[in-house]
């Protein structure tokens, strides 16, 4: 009898998994030929890739400077693997710290003009660690409504309070701080917003934070290597390098690797190294990733022409899309969205572009406001003008088919 009960229980699905059975949207999208996710690439993240056996123009990569296949970056990763092996087999806190990790931290701090830096296994974990460690029980976390998901998740891990302000709205940020005068506040914003490509109003945000004595964290994931005369990010862009308390970022965009970082005052970084749980309880970055980021940082510094080419490409793409009548929203960076008013239009547009050999990303709520959707495009320094012209031709053809194009070049 006992055995039969165990067998019956094994055949009955646990209720907590019922949601998985009900989640049929991916299957329905796939059956309609409109599933846009997890399309495997069969080649490196270059301007043109192989996907489903076809050569396509990659127009949604964050490999902004085109360094993920640079010979110096690849060589550095290979040399590090031969010397250190493939992994560190422990956390930074215990046995997982290499001299290579410390070299990257030192060079990052020097590059960003801060006293110190610490690197995390991913950019996502950097934000989890920074926010959850710095915001205590009696503190307030204040977020821009369009901050990255990792920042929101970090605030959920913290034990402090949470309030949001309207996107890039300095007056609303001041309202939040004004109504919480007696509570120490940690304000976190993106330097560049990853979906719409707009830049944080850092001058206004810095001014408000200083007047209300709030600490400011800026996540420059999409700004490092892109903004600023030296590619140092949004604070350099506005000449506010020493007005930000903590910089966060990632190596997975301009630095052609994986990993994240926090940079700031030495005592703040020391505190994070002993309180940021995603750092303390995760295995440290493998040697190849650290060496690749180091090499990419060196190239970023010595080849400013890559950044200029990136901006030239972004300008060409944005102006071309706008000339066709597409709405590129507030974008002022190499992230150039095509904003649409429904998920269905975005999916249809994505599918037609895919058929034309253009690999883009359709973006829906909650990554963008309810009632909108967009096709996210992003340039690389290594895109050619001929490739971008093919992109514009595909957008024009697809837009005409869907009656989205009002103007014609």
Helices (H), 238-331: 266-275, 277-280, 287-302, 304-323
Catalytic member of 70, 148, 167, 222:
222
Catalytic member of 253, 273, 378, 398:
253
**Catalytic residue check, 2:** no
Integer Cα distance of 278 and 91 in angstroms: 10
Q: Is 335 exposed, middle or buried (0-12, 13-18, 19+ CB in 10 A)?
A: buried
Question: Which H or E run includes 262?
Answer: strand 260-264
What's the DSSP call for residue 362? Answer: E
- List CB contacts of 166: < 8 A, sequence separation 6 or more: 145, 172
DSSP 46-93: SSEEEETTEEEEE-S---TT--TT-HHHHHHHHHHHHHH-S---SBTT
Catalytic member of 61, 194, 331, 378:
194
DSSP 170-205: HHHHHHHHHTTTTS-EEEEEESB-TTT-PBP-HHHH
Tracing tokens 């915001």 back to the chain, one arrives at: 135
Closest CA to 77 of 297, 250, 287, 253: 287
Integer Cα distance of 326 and 335 in angstroms: 15
147 neighbors 198 (Cβ within 8 angstroms): no
Cα three-residue angle 138-142-148, rounded to 5 degrees: 125
Strands 140-144, 373-378: pairing kind:
unpaired
252 neighbors 123 (Cβ within 8 angstroms): yes
b/e sequence 358-378, b meaning 16+ C-beta within 10 Å: bbbbbbeeeebeeebbbbbbb
**Catalytic residue check, 145:** no
Please count the other Cβ atoms lying within 10 Å of the Cβ belonging to residue 241: 18
**Catalytic residue check, 194:** yes
301 neighbors 114 (Cβ within 8 angstroms): no
Q: Which residues are catalytic?
A: 194, 222, 253
């Amino acid at each position: 009898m006992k055995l039969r009960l165990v067998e019956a229980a094994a055949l009955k699905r646990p209720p907590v998994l019922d949601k998985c059975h009900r989640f049929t949207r991916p299957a329905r999208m796939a059956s309609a030929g409109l599933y846009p996710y997890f399309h495997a690439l069969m080649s490196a993240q270059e301007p043109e890739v192989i996907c489903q056996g076809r050569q396509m123009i990659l127009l949604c990569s964050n490999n902004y400077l085109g360094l993920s296949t640079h010979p110096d970056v690849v060589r550095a990763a290979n040399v590090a693997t031969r010397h250190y092996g493939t992994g560190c087999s422990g956390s930074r806190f215990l046995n997982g710290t290499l001299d290579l990790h410390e070299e990257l931290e030192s060079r990052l701090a020097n590059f960003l003009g801060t006293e110190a830096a610490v690197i995390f296994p991913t950019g996502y974990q950097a934000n989890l660690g920074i926010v959850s460690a710095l915001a205590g029980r009696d503190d307030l976390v204040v977020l821009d409504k369009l901050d990255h998901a990792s920042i929101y998740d970090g605030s959920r891990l913290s034990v402090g309070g949470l309030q949001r302000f309207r996107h890039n709205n300095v007056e609303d940020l001041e309202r939040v701080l004004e109504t919480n005068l007696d509570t120490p506040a940690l304000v976190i914003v993106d330097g560049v917003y990853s979906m719409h490509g707009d830049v944080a109003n850092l001058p206004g945000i810095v001014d408000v934070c200083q007047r209300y004595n709030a600490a400011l964290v800026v996540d420059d994931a999409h700004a490092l290597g892109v903004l600023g005369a030296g590619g140092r990010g949004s604070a350099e862009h506005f000449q506010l390098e020493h007005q930000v308390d903590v910089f966060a970022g990632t190596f997975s965009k301009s630095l052609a690797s994986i990993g994240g970082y926090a940079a700031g005052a030495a005592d703040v970084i020391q505190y994070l190294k002993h309180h940021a749980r995603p750092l303390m309880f995760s295995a440290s970055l493998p040697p190849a990733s650290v060496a690749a980021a180091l090499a990419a940082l060196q190239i970023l510094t010595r080849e400013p022409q890559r950044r200029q080419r990136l901006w030239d490409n972004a300008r060409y793409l944005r102006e071309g899309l706008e000339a066709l009548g597409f709405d590129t929203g507030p974008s002022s960076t190499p992230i150039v969205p095509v904003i649409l008013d429904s998920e269905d239009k975005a999916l249809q547009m994505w599918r037609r572009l895919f058929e034309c050999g253009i690999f883009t990303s359709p973006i829906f709520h909650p990554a963008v406001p309810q009632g909108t959707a967009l096709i996210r495009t992003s340039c690389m320094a290594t895109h050619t003008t001929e490739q971008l012209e093919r992109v514009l031709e595909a957008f024009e053809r697809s837009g005409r088919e869907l009656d989205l194009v009002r103007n014609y070049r």
